[in-house]
């Protein structure tokens, strides 16, 4: 079946909002119902609906108390956590990743901590939970806030618990390609009452004429929330579909030493927003360029190399192309100058060009055909 289904039930939910004449969530009831149902489904105390996953990450950085002169430790394969830190004028500090899981390395996190560190943003990358016990232990030792970037990992599990409930706060993305697809929307959640009020304030949910604290207009409107309520009833099926589609690529790689799927520790459940693997062919005399050419010739839908280089090597960070006068990287409140240069996270830099990615959305039949084409390409190099 097609992963994301929108039908008469969604249309009727939207029609009810339009008929009410109340499209803004400030005085509406649908947005609040979406938040409450989401919180119950995931198992958190508070959920705040916003207009994107990036908005949700920014709200979490704000609630964590990170700002000018502060540092936020982030993943080094994706840029989203680091951008959320920059949004709030905090300095992103990149931690390296583990080679087999592609996830943030707790030991690298520990090495990056300074007296200015306020938070850790860990991404459950591609849908696989990070090592939360280790990260939470580091946070307790240094009085830090852990923010889960859960954009890829709806219903993923770490030791029997859902991701998004393990840190102090969590972000969910409902972008078009995510497990819960609303075009663009997001949710920021917490299990810790200390952060609940600031998350509501940061999202601009209250709609006050005057601002008692700094806030942004990240509200989710009632129309999108209405679709969200309908889609919440279907999201488990979408996740199961993604897992089933991903399994086809794991099967295609069976017995192949030069292509390796992302390693999944036994205490975790992967929910595969993306299927991920790595190209190791150069160690077996196989050219990556030849492999890419063969994929293209066979019509295999597979990305190679993700964003090609570690995010901190882009001009956004190295020039930097952020706020005026180079802030936050050149903030006069900084205790130290953080540099972004090759060699900062060697594992991430070595891994990035090898990454193989396939979106798990779409019909099972399409993925069966795509995986079969991949297997045919593999056998050319046998």
Task: Give the contacts of 82 (CB within 8 A, at least 6 positions apart).
Answer: 72, 74, 75, 92, 94, 121, 311, 312, 317
pLDDT value of residue 200:
87
Is there a contact between 61 and 85 (Cβ–Cβ < 8 Å)? Answer: yes
Number of Cβ atoms within 10 Å of the Cβ of 346: 12
Number of Cβ atoms within 10 Å of the Cβ of 116: 18
Residues 371, 382: Cα–Cα separation, whole Å: 17
Cis omega (within 30 of 0) for bond into 355: no
pLDDT value of residue 1:
44
Q: In degrees rounded to 5, what are phi and psi of residue 346?
A: -60, -35
The dihedral sign for the CA sequence 309, 311, 313, 319: positive
Cis omega (within 30 of 0) for bond into 320: yes
Q: Which residues pair with 261 in a beta bridge?
A: 277
Is there a contact between 7 and 245 (Cβ–Cβ < 8 Å)? Answer: no
Residues 237, 335: Cα–Cα separation, whole Å: 49
pLDDT value of residue 333:
86
Q: Which residues pair with 357 in a beta bridge?
A: 276, 303
Does the pTM of the predicted model rise above 0.85? yes
| Tokens describing residue 26 | 């400030």
Q: In what order do the strands lie in the sheet with 268-269?
A: 161-162, 157-158, 268-269
pLDDT value of residue 29:
94
Kindly calculate the radius of gyration of the chain based on its CA atoms and give it in whole angstroms: 21
Output the tens digit of pLDDT for each of the chain's 382 residues. Answer: 457 999 999 999 999 999 999 999 888 899 999 999 999 999 999 999 999 999 999 999 999 999 999 999 999 999 999 999 999 999 999 999 999 999 999 999 999 999 999 999 999 999 999 999 999 999 999 999 999 999 999 999 999 999 999 999 999 999 999 999 999 999 999 999 899 988 988 886 655 556 677 788 899 999 999 999 999 999 999 999 999 999 999 999 999 999 999 999 999 999 999 999 999 999 999 999 999 999 999 999 999 999 999 999 999 999 999 998 888 988 888 888 899 999 999 999 999 999 999 999 999 999 999 999 999 999 999 7
| Tokens describing residue 10 | 């969604």
Is there a contact between 206 and 217 (Cβ–Cβ < 8 Å)? Answer: no
Q: Is 372 left (phi over 0), alpha (psi -120 to 50) or beta?
A: alpha
In Å, how far from its chain's centre is CA 213?
A: 28
3-state secondary structure of 84: helix
**How many residues comprise the chain?**
382
| Pairing of β 169-173 and β 145-149 | parallel
| Pairing of β 169-173 and β 161-162 | unpaired
Task: Encode burial over 163-189: b for 16+ CB neighbours within 10 A, e otherwise.
Answer: bbbbbbbbbbbbbeebbbbbebbbbbb
Residues 67, 113: Cα–Cα separation, whole Å: 16
pLDDT value of residue 135:
98
């Amino acid at each position: 079946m097609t992963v994301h289904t929108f039908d008469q039930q969604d249309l009727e939910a939207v029609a009810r909002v339009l008929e009410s004449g109340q499209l803004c969530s400030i005085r509406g009831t649908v947005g609040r119902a979406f938040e409450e149902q989401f919180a119950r489904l995931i198992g958190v105390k508070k959920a705040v609906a916003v207009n994107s996953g990036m908005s949700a990450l920014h709200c979490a950085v704000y609630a964590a108390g990170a700002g000018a002169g502060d540092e936020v430790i982030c993943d080094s394969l994706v840029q989203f956590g680091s951008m959320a830190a920059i949004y709030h004028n905090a300095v992103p500090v990149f931690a390296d990743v583990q080679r087999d899981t592609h996830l943030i390395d707790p030991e690298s996190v520990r090495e990056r901590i300074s007296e200015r560190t306020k938070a850790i943003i860990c991404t459950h990358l591609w849908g696989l939970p990070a090592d939360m016990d280790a990260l939470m232990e580091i946070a307790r030792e240094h009085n830090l806030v852990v923010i889960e970037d859960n954009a890829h990992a709806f219903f993923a599990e770490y030791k029997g618990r859902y991701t998004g409930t393990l840190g102090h706060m969590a972000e969910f993305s409902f972008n078009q390609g995510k497990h819960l697809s609303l075009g663009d929307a997001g949710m920021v959640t917490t299990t810790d009452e200390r952060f609940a009020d600031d998350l509501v304030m940061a999202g601009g949910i209250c709609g006050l004429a005057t601002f008692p604290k700094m806030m942004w207009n990240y509200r989710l409107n009632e129309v999108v929330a209405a679709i969200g309520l309908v889609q919440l009833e279907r999201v488990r099926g979408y996740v199961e579909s993604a897992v089933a589609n991903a399994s086809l690529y794991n099967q295609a790689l069976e017995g192949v030493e030069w292509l390796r799927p992302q390693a999944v520790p036994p205490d975790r459940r992967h929910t595969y927003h993306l299927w991920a693997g790595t190209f190791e062919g150069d160690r077996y005399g196989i050219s990556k360029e030849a492999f890419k050419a063969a994929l293209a010739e066979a019509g295999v839908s597979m990305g190679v190399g993700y964003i090609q280089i570690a995010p901190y090597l882009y001009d956004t960070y190295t020039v930097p192309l952020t706020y005026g006068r180079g802030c936050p990287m050149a903030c006069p409140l900084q205790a130290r100058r953080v540099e972004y240069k090759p060699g900062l996270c060697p594992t991430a830099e070595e891994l990035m060009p090898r990454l193989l990615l396939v979106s798990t959305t779409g019909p099972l039949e399409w993925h069966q055909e795509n995986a079969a084409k991949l297997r045919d390409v593999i056998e050319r190099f046998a």
